[in-house]
Structure 1
Amino acid sequence: MRKKIIFSGLIVLLYIMVLPLWTYAANTSVVSQRIHRIYNPKKKLGFSGGSFRAMGAQGGSMTGTYHNGDQLICTDCHIMHASMQHNYAGGTGPEGNISSFPYSGTPNQKLLKESGIGLCVSCHDGKSGIPDVIGADSNGLTERSAGKFDNVDVLNYKGHNLKSNPGDLCTRCHFGGDMSTAGVECIECHDQHGNLNYRNLRWASDPGNEPDIRAFIQTGATGLQRYEKANVGYGAPASGDNSWREVTNICIDCHHAFMDSSDHYYTQSNGMWVKHPGTNSEWGAYAPIDAAGANTDPAHWVDGTGSGFDIPRLPFIVEGATDFATATTVATDNNVFCLTCHKAHGSDNSFSLRWDVDTESVFSKGCRQCHNNVDNQ
């Protein structure tokens, strides 16, 4: 009898100890899902990902795009035993412009040749024939479409900061973090194993669940010419089309404060602007140059000469574009978006702007392309 009482007591005690943990785990899962749904700006239209991957999204077949298909080369990044004594040609130097010799002398998680961002920049910094994303371009492109970063772990007020250990995604800016010093890693915006999106772009907050992300490459552009600014055109889906998104859809993961949850553009109740609009098709927000009340000069934009156009025409989005030709057609209803004024990686100018804002004589050049009508107002 005593044994039965003791055994029953143990069962009750175990139940008392486990039940709170079980309940906590269940509630944590629910809370986590709720936070994700509320806090993740990607779900505003209820897009669930898993869409088709348009093979023509870059202006032709994705075949041959690096980090995809046959161009996903395991040995570029991984090493079996962390014991590589020489490269595949028997030497100790770079092979085929890729440093096949060990990037680091110690084993790394996931069998990587080097940990973190160091692996990416071992190829993408100063190697001819490979897109160079840091500092001066070793390949001699006229203008890289995404611009350039500064060196890893160097604070840069002219673009995004690359960091070797940036920390948790959210706490870099929130909960004591500081957005001005926050850092990023390459794989937060680009899928290292490829996903058939333009430039293998993905969401930092929800990788793998992003929609089809598109831009358009000039037909006939091959190799590094696909990264030349002049060979890239931008589009956005027509209103109501949720099958794909513009490239700057990934920007709102971190920069969604620039988009309002109600009228999208942060206008005051009297209709006055307090933040510049930009196209964000996910929230149904479009910013055509000829929009009513935009205080712009659409005819000047189309003409493309005179005030403001002593710098190159700024990039724009064409709503409903289907290829490079339609995505680069100048019209009064071209849309303004993040990349109109900013380069994705960084530039030679403050805030990653496309024109010099430190010299008074050119400070307003970019603005004048759309707002040439403001003189003497």
Structure 2
Amino acid sequence: MLRDLTPQAVFIGLLAAFVGFASSFAVVLAGLRAVGATEAEAASGLMASAIAMGLCGVVVSLRTKQPVSVAWTTPGAALLAGSASVAGGFSDAVGAFLICGGLIILSGLWRPFGRAVEAIPGSLANAMLAGILLVLCLAPFRAIAFDPLLGLPILVAWIIGGRINRFLGVPAALLAFILVVVFGVEFPPDWQAGIAASLLPAPEVIVPTFSLSALFGMALPLFIVTMASQNVPGLAVLKANGYVTKTGPLLTATGIFSFLSAPFAGISSNLAAITAAMLAGEEAGPDSDKRYWGTVVCGVAYCLFGLFAGVVIAFVSLAPSILIEAVAGLALISAFGAASLNAFKVEEERPAAAVTFLAAASGMTILGISGAFWGLIAGGIILALAKRKSA
């Protein structure tokens, strides 16, 4: 296995972990606080969630030898952030987290769901992936609009590095990001004290309680959003990159780690989509059979970020979030191009693929579920009707 480890896999794994953690930890914290967590419980939840998704990614990737990327449920955290505290307090919310983890395990053991996901046409899977990636691939240009002195050096470094070697573009952009933050961002006077005070948050064990209001108001919506907005796109990303996976064991694994992290205030773990595109594509190495090491490295980095969640939060918050998104967008441009090409390759499937792409890129949400899922449904209906007409 160590012979499969490549420098590209190490770099893209570290980059994916940085992007995945830094771009969404604020949403997770806001979600935990919104449902009643104290500052100590929220820090514990962030740590537990990061460690759970890191360990899950390492275990699953080593077992399958595929780049199965695992993340926390960012849409689920956003759902929590828009929710009110449940009547029973944060212990009821933890009970809801446990129920959600149990439902994810059940979905992994229920074979009809796995067959439905495996039946997704390749054109629609690629169209959804391209739509998801489009928003983030626009981030480098939005960063330039935000502040040319901060955003332009990252783009220029990516272009120059890519001209030297196509695998040097993203490392050059990341180096430019670090330099821009160090020399171009004004740090508050007490930033060092803030980082020192954030070392190693202590885990908090919350005894869960259960109520009908938390079940229907939090657990079920969290489960639906996690499945529709994260697990389905995550499986589609793997399929779009040519990996044949068994759906059930992957979902079961994420459910188990979600269940184990819940008593420490951890939110659900699920299959990733954005970082999966980074780790399953050519940026992780030319040999697709060796890319799983990228997700292993990413998982280990997640665990380290979790252990030092307080320090990471304090440092990353010093930089504008758009700069982090810019580096991620540059890393995903080649994946976006490949997915777009494959989505519209078959002429008869282009209308359905176009609808899926536009819905996924629109950013819309209906009933708390993202446009990626609804685009997949709409594209599937259009494709089914077209095939029925031709028959």
Q: What range is the shorter-chain TM-score in?
A: under 0.3
Larger helix proportion of the pair: 2
Greater relative contact order (Cα 8 A, min sep 6): structure 1 or 2? 2
* TM-score, normalised with respect to structure 1: 0.28
* TM-score, normalised with respect to structure 2: 0.27
